[in-house]
Amino acid sequence: MQKKVYIDLDGVIADFDRGRREHPMANITPYKGRPDKLPGLFKDLEPIEGAIEGVNKLLDAIHFDVYFLSTAPWDNPEAWTHKRLWIDKYFETKKIKKRLILCHHKQLLIGDFLIDDREFNGASEFTGEWLEFGSERFPDWSAVLNYLNA
């Protein structure tokens, strides 16, 4: 039986913090303090170290059924499109097609594992196991892969 694994994007696969810091409008009103609204931010994020290889290992493992599970800012509709384009840029389309779920209620998804760096948008209420990416226990992708035995 396959285990369902949900993987967050920002802070887990895509380097949101770096993208926010380096965005040319980061310190301009109305974007200062509202990085979610920065134009084009989500389109050009760099991958987090080891993430692309790590996700591919999970995608290639027959005992895992893998989905991306991310929250896109409600007030920044272009972000929803850019997240879809971003995963297509970094992964083979045939492996990830129709495997992107964007929602603000991650606890509603049924599955075994959620790899997520933050507790918000339902992550901490996920009914499977939440692997808190960036925590002491799961500081990086190799720790996650070791734990999942992938």
Q: Which residues have a catalytic role annotated? A: 8, 10
Using CB under 5 A as the binding rule, whether residue 36 contacts Mg ion is answered as: no
- Residue closer to Mg ion (CB basis): 8 or 36: 8
Binding residues for Mg ion restricted to 102-141, rule: CB under 5 A: 117-118
Using CB under 5 A as the binding rule, whether residue 47 contacts Mg ion is answered as: no
Using CB under 5 A as the binding rule, whether residue 15 contacts Mg ion is answered as: no
3-class DSSP state for residue 140?
A: coil
Give start and end residues of each alpha helix (H) in the chain. 16-22, 51-60, 77-90, 93-96, 141-148
The Cβ-side half-sphere exposure at 9, using a 13 Å CA radius, reads 30
- Residue closer to Mg ion (CB basis): 46 or 60: 46
- Pick from 44, 25, 16, 3: nearest CA to 117: 16
Residues of the shown chain interacting with Mg ion in the complex, contacts defined by CB under 5 A:
8, 10-11, 117-118
